[in-house]
Structure 1
Amino acid sequence: MHHFPSSAGPEHEKFTEWAISQGVEINGVAPAQFPGQGVGIAAQRNIDVGEVIIRVPIGLMLTTKSIPSKFREKFPDNIPVQGLYAAYICCTEEFQEKFAPWRAVWPSRQDFEDTLPILWAQRLKGIKISGPSYPLLPSSISGSWNTIAKRPIKCAYTAEHQNLLPEQEKRFDKAYRVIKQVFQDIDKDTYTYYWLIVNTRSFHHIPVGTSAPEDRYDAMALCPFGDYFNHIDEGGCEVSFNDNFYTFKTSRAYEKGEEIFISYGNHSGDVLLTDYGFIPAQNKWDDLFLDDIILKDFSSKDIEALRIDRYLGNYRITSEGPCYRTEVAACMKYMTAGDWNSHILGYQPASFDQRKTNLIIAAWIRAYIHESEVALSKLTALQQDGKYRGEPQLKIIYTRWKQIIELCNGALKAVVD
Structure 2
Amino acid sequence: MDKRIENLLQWINNTVDETYEPSTHSYISPKTIVKDDAEWGRGICATEPVRTKELIIRIPPSFLLNYTTVLKHICRHNDANKLEDPHYLKVYIPPTEVKDEFTKIYSFMNVEDLTNLSSFQLLSLYITFESQRQESSFWKPFLDMLPPISDFVSVPLTWHVLKVPQWEKLFDSLPESTRKHAEKTIQRFESDYETVCSLLKSKIEPNTTTTTINDDTSLLLPIDLFLWAWMCINSRCLYMDMPQKKNNSDNFTMSPYVDFLNHSCDDQCSLKIDSTGFQVFTGVSYKPGDQIFLSYGPHSNEFLLCEYGFMLNENKWNDLDVSSYILKALTAQQVSYLKENDYFGDYTINVDSGPSFRTEIALATMQEDQPSTSRKLQALVNGMTDGDAYELNSKILLDEIFKQVIKECEFKKNMNPIDANDDSNTILRKKVIKKLYDDRNFIVERHSL
What does residue 28 of structure 2 align with?
26
CA RMSD of aligned residues (A): 2.8
Q: Which amino acid aligns with 2:32?
A: V
Tell me the alpha carbon deviations over residues 112-143 of structure 1, each in whole angstroms, 9 at most, x when there is no partner.
2x23221125999998x6xx89632232220x
Corresponding residue pairs, total: 377
Contact 2:124 2:230 in 1 (8 A): yes
Match of 2:156 among 99, 104, 117: 117
Q: Which moved more, 1:349-358 or 1:367-376?
A: 349-358
- Which one is further off, 246-255 or 358-367? 358-367
Kindly tell me: are residues 237 and 367 of structure 1, through their superposed partners in 2, closer, same or farther at Cα, counting changes over 3 Å? same
2-side partners of 1:194 and 1:96: how far apart?
18
The CA distance in 2 between the partners of 1:237 and 1:350, in whole Å, is 38
Check conservation: 1:235, 1:251, Cα contact below 8 A. Answer: yes
Picking from 8, 30, 34, the partner of 1:15 is: 8
Whole-Å separation in 2 of the counterparts to 1:376 and 1:276: 23
Deviates more, 1:67-76 or 1:279-288: 67-76
Could you say if the C-alpha distance between residues 121 and 167 of structure 1 is closer, same or farther in structure 2, counting changes exceeding 3 Å? closer
Question: Which whole-Å CA distance do the structure 1 matches of 2:389 and 2:166 have between them?
Answer: 40
Q: 1:386 to 1:74 in 2, by over 3 A?
A: farther
Unpaired stretches in structure 1, ≥5 consecutive residues: 1-7, 143-162
Map of 1:160 onto structure 2 = none
What's the counterpart of residue 107 of structure 1? 147
Larger displacement relative to structure 2 (317-326 or 75-84): 75-84
The CA distance in 2 between the partners of 1:253 and 1:275, in whole Å, is: 30
Aligned partner of residue 50 in structure 1, secondary structure:
coil
Instruction: Output aligned runs, 1:301-320, within 5 Å.
Output: 301-319=333-351, 320=353
Residue among 194, 197, 205 paired with 1:180: 197
Structure 1 segment 260-279 matched on structure 2, within 5 A: 260-279=292-311
Q: Structure 2: which amino acid aligns with 1:182?
A: L
Higher helix share: 2
- Matched with 2:90 is none
1:228-282 CA-partner distances (Å, limit 9, x unpaired): 1110000421112123311111111111121101000111111111111111112
Which digits, 9 at most, give the CA deviation of each residue in 1:22-72, with x for residues without a partner? Answer: 532001212111123211011121111111000111221112211236356
Identity of aligned residues (%): 21
Aligned partners of 1:275 and 1:73: how far apart in 2?
Answer: 30
Relative distance call for 1:350 and 1:362 in structure 2 (3 A) is closer
User: Are the counterparts in 2 of residues 126 and 137 from structure 1 also a CA contact under 8 Å?
Assistant: no
Offset, 1:19 = 2.2
CA distance in 2 between counterparts of 1:364 and 1:234 reads: 31
Corresponding residue SS for 1:328:
helix
The alpha carbon displacement at 1:350 in A equals 11
* CA gap 1:378/1:95 in 2 versus in 1, 3 angstroms: same
- The amino acid across from 1:187 in the alignment is P
- The 8 Å contact of residues 87 and 179 in structure 1, kept in 2 or not, is answered as yes
CA offsets per residue over residues 345-367 of structure 1, 9 Å max, x none?
45669994421121012222332
Map of 1:145 onto structure 2: none
Distance 1:121 1:170 in 2: 11
Q: How far apart, CA to CA, are the structure 1 residues paired with 2:307 and 2:438?
A: 20
SS for the counterpart of 1:75 is helix
Structure whose alpha-carbon radius of gyration is higher = 2
**Alignment pair present for 1:287 and 2:319:** yes
Q: What secondary structure, in the 3-state scheme, does the structure 1 residue paired with 2:172 have?
A: coil
Distance 1:369 1:285 in 2: 20
Q: For the residues of structure 2 that align with 1:350 and 1:99, how far apart are their CA atoms?
A: 57
Which of 334, 350, 365 does residue 367 from structure 2 map onto? 334
The corresponding residue for 1:257 is 289
> CA 1:405 to 1:388, structure 2 compared with 1: closer, same or farther past 3 Å?
farther
Equivalent residues of 1:231, 1:261 under 8 A apart: yes
Structure 2 runs not aligned, ≥5 long? 16-24, 76-108, 202-216
Residue in 1 that maps onto 2:51: 48
Is 1:321 the counterpart of 2:354 in the alignment? yes
| One-letter code aligned to 2:123 | Y
Find the aligned partners of 2:170 and 2:233 in 1 and give their Cα distance. Answer: 31
Alpha-carbon separation, structure 2, partners of 1:240 and 1:228 = 17
Q: Say yes or no: does 1:83 pair with 2:121.
A: yes
1:110-189 equivalent positions in 2, closer than 5 A? 110-112=150-152, 114-120=153-159, 135-142=172-179, 163-184=180-201, 185=217, 186-189=221-224
Partner of 1:280, secondary structure, is coil
**What amino acid sits opposite 2:70 in the alignment?**
I
Q: Deviations over 1:78-103 (max 9, x none)?
A: 42211110101112449961111222
Instruction: Determine the C-alpha separation between the residues in 2 that align with 1:238 and 1:76.
Output: 32
Distance 1:241 1:72, change over 3 A: farther
Whole-angstrom CA distance in 1 between matches of 2:121 and 2:387: 55
- Determine if the alignment matches structure 1 residue 200 to structure 2 residue 239: no
